[in-house]
Amino acid sequence: MTARRLPVLLVITAGLAVARLWMVHDAAATEIVEPVTRSILSGAATTPMPQPSATSASTPAAPSLRPPATGSSAVDAIGNPFAARPAPQPVAPPPAPVAFVQPPAPDPLQSFHVIGTVDDQGAPGVFVDTPSGVELARVGEVLGGEFKVKAVARQGLIVEQIASKREFTLSIPLGGTP
């Protein structure tokens, strides 16, 4: 298979070479291409741009790849990696972090309200309105499935949240006597 490809590739290469030599030399195409000269010193001026000839007036001008003549050299416009650079401006420090103040935790006993008290032969109790209904709270009882009654006092009902072991006090309204 490669034995048949080699003659074909050689014929194509020879044809391209002949076509290149046979092609008429285009003068307008060579006027666009110019040698680039660079100065080693950064203060040297760039070479002036040649004026377009009358023969290339009919063809559009190619865009210039040279830097604009603003008094700087081509090396400065491109960027000399060895040139001394001004010190970078100091970066302003980031703003101080804003202290996040966590809002106070909602009262877990918000939906519990003391309705009244009862004293049954020395065992005081408090009637508490809970989300599931009215319950009689005595020491050791569990209210709403999450609060255990620790003590019943004249000022309030002391309960402990089972999950967090935190204590809360439900105040008993005036006139209620445990």
The per-residue pLDDT string of the chain (178 residues; one tens digit each, 9 = 90 and over) reads 567 888 999 999 999 988 888 776 655 555 656 667 766 654 444 555 555 554 444 555 555 555 555 555 555 556 777 777 788 888 888 888 888 888 877 777 788 888 888 887 777 888 888 888 888 888 898 988 888 999 888 888 889 998 888 888 888 877 554 4
Return the pLDDT at 172.
Answer: 83
End-to-end CA distance of the chain: 109
pTM value? 0.40
Tokens of 53: 């000839």
Residue 39 lies in a domain: no
Residue 134 lies in a domain: yes
Does residue 162 fall inside a structural domain?
yes
Structural domain includes residue 141: yes
The CA-atom distances, in angstroms, between 52 and each of 31, 55, 67, 74, 84 are 8, 8, 18, 21, 37
Residue 22 in any domain: the answer is no
Sequence-distant (6+) residues with CB within 8 A of 39 are: 45, 46, 73, 74, 75
DSSP 66: S
121 occurs within a structural domain: yes
Encoded amino acid at 14, one letter? A
pLDDT of residue 27: 54
The pLDDT of residue 56 is 47
Residue 9: inside a domain:
no
How many domains does the chain contain in total? 1
Structure tokens at 58: 């009919």
Residue of 56, 61, 35 whose CA lies nearest to 47: 35
Which CATH number do you get for residue 126? Answer: 2.30.30.830
Q: What pLDDT does 130 receive?
A: 87
142 assigned to some structural domain:
yes
C-alpha 178/C-alpha 122 separation (Å) is 9
DSSP state of 14: H
**Can you tell me the distance from the alpha carbon of 25 to that of 128, in angstroms, rounded to the nearest whole number?**
107
Domain that holds residue 125: 113-171
